[in-house]
Structure formats: C-alpha cells, structure tokens
Amino acid sequence: MSSRRILLPQPIESEAVDLLENLGYEIVLSKNPEPLTVSPLLKGVQAIILRTGLKITRKLINHADDLYIISRTGAGLDNVDLEAATERGIIVTSNLGVNTSSVVEHVLSLMLALSKQLPLLDKAVRNQNFSIRYRYLPKDLRNKTLGVMGFGRIGSEVGRICHQLFHMQIIAYDPYLSGDDKKSYKGWVNFTSMQDLFSQADVISIHIPLTKDTRHAIGVRELSLMKSEAILINTSRGAVVDESALIKALRDKKITGAGLDVFETEPVSGDNPLLILDNVILTPHTAALTRECVVSMAVQAAKCVIDVFNGQEPPNVANPKVLNLDRWKHLSKVNDQNLGTSP
C-alpha cells in the first residue's frame, strides 16, 4: 500500500477515483472548493486533481508542504498560479485535446440554436403562437462567413466542420500560429486581422485562452465593428470578452445574439443583466461536461498523477522548466506523450 495522498477540491468521476484507490492511494475530498476549506487539507498531500471551481493561488500553494503535481482535468490553466507552482518545483499538467470534440459539438449547438431561433420558436409554440412560422425568423448558416478567433484545437475543428458541412467561408485570427501551421489550412481558411474578422463575419466564435493579455480582448471597439445581423459565440473563458460591453451591444441590438458558455463571474449572479435578455443562449460552463468527456478528463488527470508517482514524465506538462530540477531528474520519458502510460 502506498501512503501517497491526493486532494480533490471537488469530486471527480468514480472511474478515476477507483483507479487511484485500487493502486492504494488515499483520496482527500474537500467538503467544498472554497480556499478556506481547502488550505488546511493541503498539508501532506502529494497531488491535487483540479477542476474549475477553485483557483490554486500562490497563497494556497504556500500551504502545501509535499506537493508533487497539480493535475488539471481540463485544458485551461487560468485557475493555477503557474509561476508560483514553478517556483516551488511543482509539476502542472493539463488535459489538452481530451475535450475538443465535446466543446466543438457545444459550439455548433449554440450556433445552430441561435441561427434557427430555437428558444424563441419553442416558446411561441408553447404560447399557441404557431403563426410565428410566417415571420421567417430562422437563418441559414450555409455560405455565411464564420470568424474564428484562436485557431487551435477547438477553433480549427469548428472551422473545419462549418466549412465542410455548411460551406461557410472561414476567416481566422491567430497571431501565434506558425507560418507552416497557417499553410496547412491553405485553400479553405483566410487568416486576417482582428478588425477584419469582426467586421466581416456573420458568426464569430472565440477560442483563445485567458491570459493577462487576452482579458477583455473583445471590447467596445471589436463589438462595434460587428454586423448587426452577426452572432457571437464564446466557449473559451468569460473574461476574454468585456461582458458589460457585450450586454450593451445585445441590449441595443447592435448585434443579433450571443451564445455564452462562460462568464466573467461564475456562477452567474442573479442580477446579471444577461439573464433577462432574450437574444442570448446561456449555458453553465458545460461545453466539456458531457458524461463521456468528464470521465475521460478525470481518468486522464488521474493518470498524470500516477505517472509522476511511478517515476514517469506525465504528458502535457505546462511548466516543463521544473523537469530540469534535481527533484524530477529521475522521471523517465514517455515515448508517446499523448497516450500516457499508466494503467
């Protein structure tokens, strides 16, 4: 039996818990993900498996005395102070790509539901307003222009499907893609400026990470460039959009609608003006929370922990600098970084 302890600030799927417990690891489950509850539990744990309900700050990290790894179940790392973890020699891993197809499906659902006016039409039928059908409110996506901000895993897949399925013209803004990457999309993607993307697209989908540079990357200026018929989808992180500016644009009908899975403050507070707008579809950060996806994310996050405990380098280390420390020199490399190695 191993005496290693793994802290779960929030519960994870039983498949992942079973995997860890069957190997003899002790699970420490926090009653809630509040920093005050979690901080005393950090003493004596070697791993944290982290969902999105808690931010692992420098202050929290300072409560840990034997932490090896912070393993994110999802892709985003905005709820980990990466610098503080790196300074303490703690490995941070994320789960890249595991949730891509689930998020893509969610983006398409929001895009189609908004274009086809599903919430409004559903309400009309229930209210005996069947004649709404003659107002021809739904719109087609076919041959329209999709603007993708952030052409990484999720953004490029949304673009590919919309191009192949709906014959949409794809324009994209991603200043960090290499020339070779851009070349690989030649023929069906036009890389453009952010300004052109916002002024030309009929549907805009945001897929950039939240960093100090991308906070409010979409604000009054970008929204004012949008066509009045255009819709905005955000499934990345709420704070990349200036939510007050978006609310104003939606309220003043400067844009047609928005599909939002993420918000500046989560959970959304009861007085958030978005809640009374009828040109938005709101989902509670569930793009990746399909049954299939959460199991897969939790199991992958658990495998990263097991890798480190077994003396192997886990996949998707977000702070590879720490691997040069004496502390981690014993870790053996894994040939295929995307497969992981553990049982």
Active site residue 207: no
Q: Which two tokens stand for residue 316?
A: 């998707």
Residue 208: CB minimum distance to ligand NAD, A: 4
The answer to whether residues 24 and 305 touch, using CB atoms and an 8 Å cutoff, is no
163 is catalytic: no
Q: By C-beta, is 202 or 222 nearer to ligand NAD?
A: 222
Q: How far is the CB of 120 from ligand NAD (least distance, A)?
A: 24
| Min CB(72)–ligand NAD separation in Å | 11
Nearer to ligand NAD, 103 or 249 (CB): 103
Segment near ligand NAD (CB under 6 A); pick from 62-70, 97-105, 131-139, 294-302: 97-105
**Residue 217, interface with ligand NAD (CB under 6 A)?**
yes
Total binding residues toward ligand NAD, as defined by CB under 6 A: 32
State yes or no: residue 236 binds ligand NAD (CB under 6 A).
yes
- Say whether residue 177 binds ligand NAD (CB under 6 A): yes
With CB atoms as reference, the residue minimizing the distance to ligand NAD is 152
Q: Which stretch binds ligand NAD (CB under 6 A): 107-115, 153-161, 274-282, 311-319?
A: 153-161
The answer to whether 68 and 291 have CB atoms below 8 angstroms apart is no
Instruction: Return the HEC string of the chain.
Output: CCCCEEEECCCCCHHHHHHHHHCCCEEEECCCCCHHHHHHHHCCCCEEEECCCCCECHHHHCCCCCCCEEEECCCCCCCECHHHHHHCCCEEECCCCCCHHHHHHHHHHHHHHHHCCHHHHHHHHHCCCHHHHHHCCCCCCCCCEEEEECCCHHHHHHHHHHHHHHCCEEEEECCCCCHHHHHHCCCCEEECCHHHHHHHCCEEEECCCCCCCCCCCECHHHHHHCCCCCEEEECCCHHHECHHHHHHHHHCCCCCEEEECCCCCCCCCCCCHHHHCCCEEECCCCCCCCHHHHHHHHHHHHHHHHHHHCCECCCCECCHHHHHCHHHCCCECCCCCCCCCCC
Q: Annotated catalytic, 153?
A: no
Q: Nearest approach, Cβ of 309 to ligand NAD (angstroms)?
A: 26
Q: Does 259 bind ligand NAD (CB under 6 A)?
A: no
Q: Whose Cβ is closer to ligand NAD: residue 213's or residue 336's?
A: 213
- Considering beta carbons, is residue 143 or 265 the nearer one to ligand NAD? 265
219 touching ligand NAD, by CB under 6 A: no
Applying CB under 6 A, does 287 fall inside the site for ligand NAD?
Answer: yes
Q: Does 159 bind ligand NAD (CB under 6 A)?
A: no
Binding footprint of ligand NAD on the chain (CB under 6 A): 74-76, 99-100, 103, 149-155, 173-177, 207-210, 214, 217, 235-237, 261-262, 285, 287-288
> Which positions are catalytic?
237, 266, 285
